């Protein structure tokens, strides 16, 4: 690769400086060295030129200032005046220039550090520390040093409580502030898309930061799990019949208005929340079909869907079959003073409860024996348990 032109010019100027030094032309040597310094473009080249220039100073004998008589009006020569030699002047100007360069460099570093801190505090929403910027950059302008000093503040420990909780537990899934801020953004997105804009607190407030810190640091709920829980909660509330909401209240004493908070309780697993939603739907749609289920029966039926959402359309058909079984026992029940509950009727029809199924079968036999002919409770109305 061709040597850059500036480097050629710098080396040439250094050569002139050395030649002038060897010839004893100190002023010319220093001037050439200063020219080489102005041509340098890298830290390494500046250091090399600086060392060469120092060598000129160190090998040039210091001479006393030249004293010449002062001329002027009057009968004789005036008092002597010291005249600065060319070498002394060059040396003085060099050190003055060096000092000015250092001051300028320091100010440039301070400006850069000041901008770094302002950007960092804005990103963290910690502008309350803006008054400490000047005192921090007086200590150092190194960005790593400044970032660490920010981490030592009480404001940082409050702002990033969730991240610090994770680190204290040895969890490294979220490695730094940038990833934690991304996590906060994703949590906000989940609640915003669910129509719960201020559920965590006003955006950018300490209350919101504390809520997210609890989700992350205390409960270790991932963004995906929070999203699933919120959707399960809303599945019961949004666009569902009033009977479903009533079942939620009757079975679990949970009001729809507080359902999201219930769903985010870390003591409950995701499967439990899904089961709760399915159970409320079973109870609600059974009620629409005219069946009054107890919580145990509704949970047994809901368990047929496993970890999936319940198939409401299929369950509506099942509920109608359960109601048919209940209604067909009325004649016998009135005569024998026996009962078949709504829960037993439906769980027997769906093959969920073996005892209920046996009870229905017995009623079927007794009805045939008492009335003759075919029972209204046909064998085809009973089925084995299956997913719904």
What pLDDT, in 10s, does the model give residues 143-202?
999 999 999 999 999 999 999 988 888 888 889 999 999 999 998 888 888 777 777 888
| pLDDT mean across residues, the chain | 80
What is the pLDDT confidence band of residue 387, given thresholds at 50, 70 and 90?
Answer: low
| Nearest-angstrom CA–CA distance, 96 and 104 | 12
Please give the residue that has the higher pLDDT: either 303 or 68.
Answer: 303
In this structure, the number of other CB atoms found within 10 A of the CB of residue 132 comes to 15
Q: What's residue 335's pLDDT? A: 67
Q: Over 80: is that where the pLDDT of 234 sits?
A: no
Task: Give residue 237's pLDDT.
Answer: 67
Confidence band, pLDDT 50/70/90 cuts, at residue 3? low
- Mean pLDDT to the nearest integer, 123-136: 93
| Rg, C-alpha atoms of the chain | 44
Q: Return the percentage of the chain with pLDDT > 90, whole number.
A: 25
Task: Choose the most confident range, by mean pLDDT, from 48-57, 60-69, 96-105, 311-320.
Answer: 311-320
Q: Is 7 exposed, middle or buried (0-12, 13-18, 19+ CB in 10 A)?
A: middle
61 pLDDT band, cuts 50/70/90, is low
Rounded Cα distance, 251 and 300, in Å: 13
pLDDT band at 376 (very low <50, low <70, confident <90, very high): very low
pLDDT at 20: 74
Q: Which of 311, 306, 295, 201 is nearest to 254 (CA)?
A: 295
Q: Is the pLDDT of residue 369 over 80?
A: no
Q: 165 vs 369, which has greater pLDDT?
A: 165
- Tokens representing residue 258 in the block: 């507080």
Which of 317, 311, 326, 308 has its CA nearest to residue 388?
A: 311
Listed in sequence order, the DSSP H helices in 125-216 are 133-139, 143-151, 154-159, 161-168, 177-193, 206-213
Contact (CB, 8 A) for 65 and 84: yes
**pLDDT at res. 70:** 46
pLDDT of residue 130: 92
Tokens of 223: 């963004």
pLDDT of residue 73: 53
Dump pLDDT digits (tens) for 66-98: 444 444 454 555 455 567 777 777 777 777 787
Contact (Cβ atoms closer than 8 angstroms) between residue 160 and residue 177: yes
pLDDT value of residue 204: 85
The torsion region of residue 274 among left (phi > 0), alpha (psi -120 to 50) and beta comes to alpha
Q: How confident is the model at residue 333 (pLDDT cuts 50, 70, 90)?
A: low
What digits encode the pLDDT tens for the residues 312-332? 899 999 999 999 888 877 666
Specify the pTM: 0.50
Q: What is the pLDDT of residue 1?
A: 40
pLDDT of residue 82: 61
Of 154, 155, 120, 113, the residue nearest 135 (C-alpha) = 113
pLDDT value at residue 170? 87
> The dihedral of CA 73, 74, 75, 78: what is its sign?
negative
pLDDT tens-digit map of 355-368? 888 888 877 777 66
What pLDDT is attached to residue 137? 92
Instruction: Give dist(CA 251, CA 44) in Å, integer.
Output: 78
pLDDT greater than 70 at residue 60: no
Q: pLDDT of 105-127, one tens digit each?
A: 889 999 999 999 999 999 999 99
Specify which residues 82 forms β-bridges with: 67
Evaluated on CA atoms 86, 89, 93, 99, the torsion sign reads: positive
Residue with tokens 């359309």: 313
Average of per-residue pLDDT across 212-240: 78
Which of 119 and 261 is assigned the larger pLDDT? 119
Assign 301 to helix, strand or coil.
helix
The pLDDT, as a whole number, for residue 267 is: 62
């Amino acid at each position: 690769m061709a040597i850059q032109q500036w480097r050629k010019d710098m080396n040439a100027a250094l050569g002139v400086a050395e030649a002038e030094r060897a010839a004893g032309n100190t002023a010319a040597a220093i001037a050439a060295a200063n020219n080489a310094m102005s041509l340098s473009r890298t830290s390494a080249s500046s250091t090399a030129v600086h060392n060469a220039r120092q060598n000129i100073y160190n090998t040039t004998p210091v001479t006393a200032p030249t004293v010449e008589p002062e001329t002027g009006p009057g009968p004789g020569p005036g008092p002597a005046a010291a005249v600065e030699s060319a070498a002394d002047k060059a040396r003085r100007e060099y050190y003055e220039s060096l000092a000015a360069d250092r001051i300028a460099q320091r100010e440039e570093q301070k400006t850069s550090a000041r901008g770094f801190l302002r950007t960092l505090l804005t990103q963290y929403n910690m502008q309350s520390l803006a008054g400490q910027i000047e005192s921090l950059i007086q200590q150092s302008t190194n960005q790593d040093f400044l970032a660490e000093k920010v981490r030592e503040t009480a404001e940082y420990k409050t702002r990033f409580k969730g991240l610090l909780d994770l680190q204290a537990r040895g969890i490294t899934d979220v490695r730094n502030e940038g990833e934690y801020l991304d996590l906060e953004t994703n949590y906000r997105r989940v609640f915003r898309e669910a129509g719960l804009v201020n559920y965590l607190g006003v955006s950018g407030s300490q209350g919101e930061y504390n809520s997210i810190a609890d989700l992350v640091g205390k409960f270790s709920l991932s963004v995906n799990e929070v999203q699933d829980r919120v959707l399960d909660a809303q599945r019961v509330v949004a666009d569902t019949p009033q009977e479903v909401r009533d079942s939620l209240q009757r079975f679990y004493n949970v009001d729809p208005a507080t359902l999201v908070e219930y769903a985010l309780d870390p003591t409950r697993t995701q499967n439990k929340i899904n089961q709760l939603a399915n159970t409320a739907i079973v109870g609600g749609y059974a009620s629409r079909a005219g069946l009054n289920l107890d919580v145990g029966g509704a949970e047994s039926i809901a368990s047929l869907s496993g970890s999936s959402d319940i198939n409401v359309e299929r369950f509506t058909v099942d509920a109608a079959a359960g109601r048919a079984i209940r209604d067909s026992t009325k004649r016998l029940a009135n005569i024998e003073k026996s009962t078949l509950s709504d829960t037993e009727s439906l769980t027997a029809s769906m093959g969920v409860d073996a005892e209920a199924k046996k009870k229905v079968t017995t009623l079927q036999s007794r009805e045939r024996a008492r009335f003759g002919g075919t029972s209204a409770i046909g064998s085809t109305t009973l089925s084995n348990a299956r997913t719904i």
